[in-house]
Each structure stands twice: as structure tokens, then as C-alpha cells.
Amino acid sequence: MKFKREHKLKIISFFLAIILWYFVVLGKPVEKDLEIPIFRENFNPNYLVEISPSEVVLKVEATRRILRNFPSNNLKLEIDISKYPPGVHQIRVPIEKLNLPSDLKIKELKPDLITLVIKKLAVKRVPVKPVYETEGNFPKRFKLIIKPSYVTIKAPVEVLVNTYYVTTQPLDILKLKIKKEVNADLVIPPGVISVYPEKIKIIYRE
């Protein structure tokens, strides 16, 4: 009987030790890095907005129990773009917008400043310039009819000033001679946001 009692006490002590260890471990503060993406708020399509970096890393400290129940995957920061004029801005990361619980201690934020670049967009009509593949022999005399011959490009103003035309993807003129008519893709110039229309028709004439 004495042996059974001692055995039972050992088992109880063992489980108590496990329970005590469990609560000590869960109650001990630990650090964790949270990756928080940054989004644009009140975005105006007439502006090009670049945010760098696109996310910040927030180091927090709390118990394992708190961190396990904290919905860190849903965290995000929104920057109100409407408050800033075109240009380059260094702004403080509005960490207070996260509304973190009081039992979550902030240890570090990297970076604490982000760069916001805002450029005004405009449109411009430019001609389409055909580009030919270098392989093969060209016909002696031919004419290309381009429809439409002008397209509309959208880009920051400083890009539009130095953009004078849009080129086609390289054309195989011998294949075009056989087909007589093709739909050609356009090459988007560096810095241009969009080209309309994206495809044009090219008609071969001799």
C-alpha cells in the first residue's frame, strides 16, 4: 500500500511539474518580428505613387500565450496619399495606427521612416514607328499603312517630355508581304505607364 501511495505521489508531482513548466514557459516574455505591409490610402489614379520600402519590421515583446493569440497576419499600415503634393517625401511610419494591445511591448521598428515618391501623370499622342527584323532581304519597294498611326501614352510629365514616338515589336517584312496584314504589339517606352491602344494594325502595300 505504501508503495502504491508513493507511486501515486510521484505521478502527481510529475504532472504538477509539467503544468508548472508549461505556465512558466508561456508566461515568459519573448521577442518576435512582425512584417507589416504598407498600403496607399485615398489613391488618385492621376498620380504615380511609389513607397519604399513596401513593408516595415516591428519587433515586439510579449508572452507566448499573448503572441499565439495575436492576429499578426492581419496587420497592415495605410498611408493617406491625399495629404502629400507631388515630390519626394520622407515620412514617419504611423505605427500608432496599428492599435496594438497594451500587453504587447514595442521593442524596435525598422525602418522608422519611409520614402514616398509622388509623380503627376499626363497623356500625350505620339506616332507609331515600325521596327524591322534584320534577317532576310527586304522587298525593293513597299509601303506600310499603320492603323492607328498615333497612340496615346500615359506617363509622368517628365517622361512625356522626352518621349517622341512608340515602336512596334520587330516585324518580319517578308512574312508581312505574304500575309498583307497583321496585328502588331507595341513596345512600351521606359517610364511609360500605359499605351492605348496596345495593338495596331499594319497593312502591307507594294
pTM of this prediction? 0.66
Provide the pLDDT for residue 20. Answer: 52
Burial environment of residue 193 by CB neighbours within 10 A (0 to 12, 13 to 18, 19 or more)? middle
Residue 64 domain-assigned? yes
User: Domain check: are 110 and 35 in the same one?
Assistant: yes
Residue 8 has pLDDT above 70, yes or no: no
Residue 24 domain-assigned? no
Nine-digit cell at 170? 520587330
- Between CA 96 and CA 137 the distance in angstroms is 67
Query: Which among 158, 162, 161, 151 is positioned nearest to 196, based on CA atoms?
Result: 151
Residue 162 domain-assigned? yes
Residue 2 has pLDDT above 60, yes or no: no
Residue 12 domain-assigned? no
Parent domain of 71: 30-120
User: Domain check: are 90 and 140 in the same one?
Assistant: no
Residue 138 domain-assigned? yes
8 A C-beta contact, residue 143 and residue 206: yes
Number of domains composing the chain: 2
User: Domain check: are 45 and 100 in the same one?
Assistant: yes
pLDDT in tens, 102-141: 788 888 889 989 999 999 999 999 999 998 886 556 667 7
Provide the pLDDT for residue 14. Answer: 59
pLDDT in tens, 13-70: 655 555 555 555 555 777 888 899 998 888 788 899 999 999 999 898 888 777 777 7
User: Domain check: are 116 and 134 in the same one?
Assistant: no
Provide the pLDDT for residue 42. Answer: 83
Residue 187 domain-assigned? yes
175: left (phi over 0), alpha (psi -120 to 50) or beta: alpha
8 A C-beta contact, residue 114 and residue 54: no
CATH number at residue 96: 2.170.120.30
User: Domain check: are 52 and 94 in the same one?
Assistant: yes
